[in-house]
Chain A
């Protein structure tokens, strides 16, 4: 009879615990990382009575949590990918918004600038149109400065967020390591430390959002967590911290380093999670946009200054520079073993790209690698002043012979957009006129006519000296009395850095003069050439105009933003699916818990009823016994 009480008691206790587990599930229905728990019931070992084996009630074996390693890993990986895209999208969309459909007003500023040149060409002596041109040039430079500083602000934002991410990773690693210790401590007990496991899973999931991690399990229940290409974050109960270090070439950019990598950057191996997205935003979106903008600024500067140098200003002087701009930079790696420096100058705008380059010296030879494409670029020269290294429109001179293994990062245009300034302050300094003017003597009797002289080498010291082309016979001529050149009708005659065409049939004794155009203030030859620049192929070896480069900048940034948006939308769907999969295993379904509550309640009521019946039976028995003996 006492067995009945035992059975009922075990049932009441078990069902009470079951209701507690269910209530706990309901209570934690919205707790992040909580895995739904269920009670494991088993029959208690039976007792033998007179050859019969009667069950001894119910026993609680344990409380287990619903968990799927596969679903959790899938979800964590998807979180890493989504985290990367979310971070990247934040920056690509900011650049997309910054550029809009006009590259932040750059198209308008550039167009206004060229139109101003045209207006100067229409009336070269008007000081109003010259002043307007200086104003429009300043507006163009300021537009480039402001866009560049906004992009630089994004880069500082990336730095701040990298630091924040790294400290969060370190905090999470420490917590995981500490949970590892507690979990390993409870190894061997029959009841699994469900709450600790839930907490640790949640921490790993949080970590996955920041950086993609690899998790391996140990027999004592602890886990190891690795980041990047296998740098440990957590090994058993120990956490390994990540740190931020300045980029070896550019101290203003932070990189991620691990204590296990001896402080060297592991950034390139972090490709997922928020951190991966930040690093990608820098290398794929912000820096390329800055470089492209810088390439446009460089082209604007070079074209303007070269054209200025080929013409005369209102004072009859060869034009001075209109814009100033920072030269390409060459930064030595902080890991270089000596102090050799490199200096870079621009030698050919046409060959200029918007990529950065890595110059390495090893085994007595230089190699140049395009950091965007990863391709090697052919180099000529020896790196000395007499024979600079030449590649990609750049000319590189090293201060000495570098140590083997030295590296230099070359950024041809990164600083350009931020540094472009208008240096010409005086409107009369605008070189609207051509440098030289040609004329035919009125006494000429032949039909020879001379075309406009064009400047081919503005640096020629004799450019502005008067030169006389005198015909010694209908087929021969001298220049300033020298030489006896053969005349070809329509052929080009070059001297003193200019070039001119004489056509027709000059007679013996005919003279033509090419001289300084000082005083030719009404000339607009040079201004006209300026206005023409916008549609000329100035970049990409003559195939891309400056306007074309701006259009390419806009559609390039737009295409990247679109690509990232699309990938983000797709990854969001994948992530929702992974989350649904995981939740379908581990989540709390309230209806299910309600049903269970009813189930346990009924079972509890039944057991209580059984106890009442047993009690009744026992009372009946006692009453009958009392009746017999009273």
Chain B
């Protein structure tokens, strides 16, 4: 092959450019610590890293969502604990008032205490978080949810439950609306409720009630009617007689799977209504108690009515406590879910960071070795060029 000086030079220049560009790429990698800085250097890895980075950022956002949810749930947890202790105090006061020896003055003092607790309970139900949002208002967090009325309290919130995303496809409820916590409390024993007729003249007081035979219980309303002292009949909603019996103080009356214990001496014509439980606001229960305590209870009829109201109130308070505890245990379960999810997310983030680093981080020993060998090649090429260029026949012609 005939080689000309021109081609030698041009080839040397091309090679020189290539070598210097390689050195520049390697150098750039070493100074940034990245194995590639543009997608063309490794299109597949660049696509993967972009995807991983987005999943990573999303996961970090989930962690921060979880922290925010933990904050909200802890506030709710505290509020619920407080609500429970207030309800417990109410129950204690109700028991105290139930003592037949209590005088009118004492009862009125108890009523005042109950009213104070009602206020505290109201402030618990209107708890605000650090940003001023009402935590028991459902979605209507800017609206104060509860306000006292003559019959209990009105609810201005809604039944919304805010959710926060913990992971792709996994959300957790961060709030429970006040309607669920404070209003949807069942009356009576949670299944049915027994009330004494206001016109009862005897001293019949409602005691324990229960479903004795769930298979026989079919809901529905009944009336226990005393046809004579010591004799009762039970009517269903169609006024048909379900059963009749002889009344013994403190002994259970059973019918249709229902068991009701009455004590005292009901008069002829006294009735006790049995109806399926309905939802009743805690505030209504408390207000009923206050109303009953404030009424005079000098006659037998009045004190029997008071005792029956207190018995009902205690039943309702037990249901309310049960409801608040249920909500609180669900809050606890959610907090656990978040904690579990947080540790899963942390592990996932570590894994992702590792994957990104594996794809993107420069292998320093290799890069430095490459740089060294590229430098050697460049200086060798330069030396070789000067050597060959120095060769010319013209040098020897004199």
Contact = CB atoms under 8 A, between A and B. Distances in A.
Contacts of B41: 558, 562
Contacts, number: 227
Interface residues of B, number: 69
B168 A535 contact: yes
Contacts of B142: 125, 519, 521-522
Interface string A510-547: 00000001011111110010011011000000000001
- Which of B41, B46, B360 has the most C-beta atoms of chain A within 10 angstroms of its own C-beta? B46
- Which of B51, B131, B360 has the most C-beta atoms of chain A within 10 angstroms of its own C-beta? B51
A101 B51 contact: no
A103 B54 CA distance: 13
Given A122-B68, A555-B47, A590-B394, A522 B160 contact: yes
Contact of B6 (A30, A114, A440, A598): A30
Nearest to A110: B54
B164 A437 contact: no
Contacts of B164: 121-122, 524, 528
Contacts of A103: 50
B158 interface: yes
Interface string A541-578: 00000011011101111111110010000001000100
Given A535-B168, A552-B47, A584 B4 contact: yes
A123 interface: yes
A558 B61 contact: no
A99 interface: yes
Contacts of B183: 442
Contacts of A459: none
Contacts of A437: 138-139, 158-160
A451 to B, nearest CB: 10
A558 B46 CA distance: 8
B140 A519 contact: yes
A170 interface: no
A194 to B, nearest CB: 18
Contact of A580 (B7, B42, B162, B276): B7
Contacts of B38: 93, 96-97, 99-101, 558, 561
A92 B279 contact: no
Interface string A108-147: 0011001100110111111000000000000000000000
Interface in A82-116: 92-93, 96-97, 99-103, 107, 110-111, 114-115
Nearest to A585: B2
Contacts of B39: 96, 99-101, 554-555, 557-559, 561
Interface string B26-61: 000000000011111111101111110110011001
Contacts of B48: 551
B195 interface: no
B387 interface: no
Contacts of A443: 278-279
A119 B391 CA distance: 74
Contact of B58 (A29, A114, A439, A525): A114
Contacts of B99: none
B3 interface: yes
A561 B360 CA distance: 19
B143 interface: yes
Contact of A101 (B46, B61, B134): B46
A594 B394 contact: yes
Interface residues of A, number: 80
A551 B51 contact: yes
A177 interface: no
A615 B248 CA distance: 173
Contacts of A521: 139-142
Contacts of B179: 439, 442
Interface of chain A, main secondary structure: helix
Given A589-B2, A589-B3, A595 B140 contact: no
A554 B38 CA distance: 9
Contact of A547 (B54, B139, B158, B278): B54
B83 to A, nearest CB: 18
B42 A558 contact: yes
A585 B7 CA distance: 12
A587 interface: yes
A445 interface: yes
B40 A558 contact: yes
B58 A442 contact: no
A560 B179 CA distance: 60
Given A123-B131, A558-B43, A520 B393 contact: no
Contacts of A97: 38
Contacts of B57: 111, 115
B4 A588 contact: yes
A307 to B, nearest CB: 15
B115 interface: no
- Which of B4, B165, B279, B360 has the most C-beta atoms of chain A within 10 angstroms of its own C-beta? B4
B386 interface: no
A579 interface: yes
Contacts of A562: 40-41, 43
Nearest to A522: B141
Nearest to A552: B47
Nearest to A126: B131
Given A523-B162, A591-B393, A107 B2 contact: no
B65 interface: yes
Contacts of B397: 594, 597-598
B138 A551 contact: no
Contacts of B37: 100-101
Nearest to A445: B276
Contact of B61 (A93, A115, A520, A576): A115
B340 interface: no
Contacts of A519: 139-140, 142-143, 158
B237 interface: no
Interface in B129-150: 131, 133-134, 137-143
Contacts of A523: 139, 160, 162
A520 B139 contact: yes
Contacts of A440: 159
Given A97-B38, A442-B183, A557-B39, A584 B158 contact: no
A444 interface: yes
Contacts of B5: 29, 588-590
A572 B171 CA distance: 57
B184 interface: yes
Nearest to A521: B142
B380 interface: no
A438 interface: yes
Interface in B168-205: 168, 171, 175, 179, 183-184
Interface string B1-23: 11111110011001000000000
Nearest to A546: B54
A378 to B, nearest CB: 31
B160 A111 contact: no
A576 B11 contact: yes
Contacts of A101: 36-39, 46, 49-50, 360
Contacts of B6: 29-30, 583, 587-588
8 shortest interchain CB distances as A-B pairs: A558-B39, A522-B141, A520-B139, A555-B47, A587-B4, A561-B40, A523-B139, A558-B43
13 contacts: A101-B46, A111-B54, A111-B57, A440-B159, A443-B279, A521-B141, A523-B139, A528-B163, A531-B61, A532-B168, A555-B46, A558-B39, A562-B43
Given A434-B160, A589-B3, 13 more contacts: A93-B38, A101-B36, A101-B360, A111-B53, A115-B61, A125-B133, A442-B279, A522-B139, A523-B162, A528-B163, A554-B50, A583-B7, A591-B391
